Amino acid sequence: MELHILLIFMILGAIIAIEVKDLLSSVVAVGAVGFALCLAFLILKAPDLAITQLVVEILCLIILIRATIKRDLPLVIEGRWVFNTISTLVFMAVFMFCAWLALKELPRFGEPLMLVVKKYLAEARVSTGAANIVTAVILDFRAYDTLGEATVLFASVIGIMAVLRRPGRKKNK
């Protein structure tokens, strides 16, 4: 249910990003779509992907906003130092509290949980027939990941060839 609301929100955001005239509003709409995707990853129980998406999204948003704004935004800090200091301290306290809650749940250092790996170590040789368990994991249990990795490599090679091909062609003419 939450996922459907998020998906509708993302589709609406994408349409707004295409249709709106102002470039900065378009960038903000794209950012909203990205953050909704981050929440969708969280709902689908993929927190590592959600963190990656969040970091990449923030970086892309900063670069895009910097690219679309023509002039520098002046930083106004005079006369507001009380408010600024208090808000900084409050946010630091909130962050520390959340970090303390999260770190309490981690397993102790040097004692990993190894829930999935135990199964792989026990069953890999019998169920795949491969003597090298690393290969058994990357090409059998997790072959889908490897397919994605190979696709990334393929796309990067195509990109490099596309960018660098033009001088080579000029030489032939």
Partner 1 sequence: MSLIVKTITRLTVGLILLFGIYIILHGHLSPGGGFAGGVIVALSFVHLMLAFGKDTAVAKISSNLASNLESIGALMFLGVALLGFLGGSFFLNILGKGQSFKLFSAGSIPLSNIAIGIKVGVGLFAIFLALVILEKSKKEG
Which of the ranges 28-36, 91-99, 103-111, 144-152 carries the binding residues for partner 1, by CB under 8 A? 144-152
Neighbours of 63 (CB within 10 A): 11
What is the number of residues in the chain? 173
Choices 21-29, 31-39, 43-51, 141-149 (CB under 8 A): range interacting with partner 1: 141-149
139 binding partner 1? (CB under 8 A): yes
d(CA 90, CA 74): 25
Question: For the window 69-108, what string marks contact with partner 1 as x by the rule CB under 8 A?
Answer: ----------------------------------------
- Count of beta carbons in the 10 Å neighbourhood of residue 38: 20
Asked whether the beta carbons of 109 and 101 are under 8 A apart, the reply is no
Longest dimension (CA), the chain: 71
12 vs 133, which CB is nearer to partner 1? 133
Q: According to CB under 8 A, which one of 24, 143, 148, 152 is a site residue for partner 1?
A: 143
Lookup result for tokens 């590592």 = 48
- Closer residue to partner 1 (CB): 11 or 157: 157
Q: Quick check: 128 binds partner 1 (CB under 8 A)? A: yes
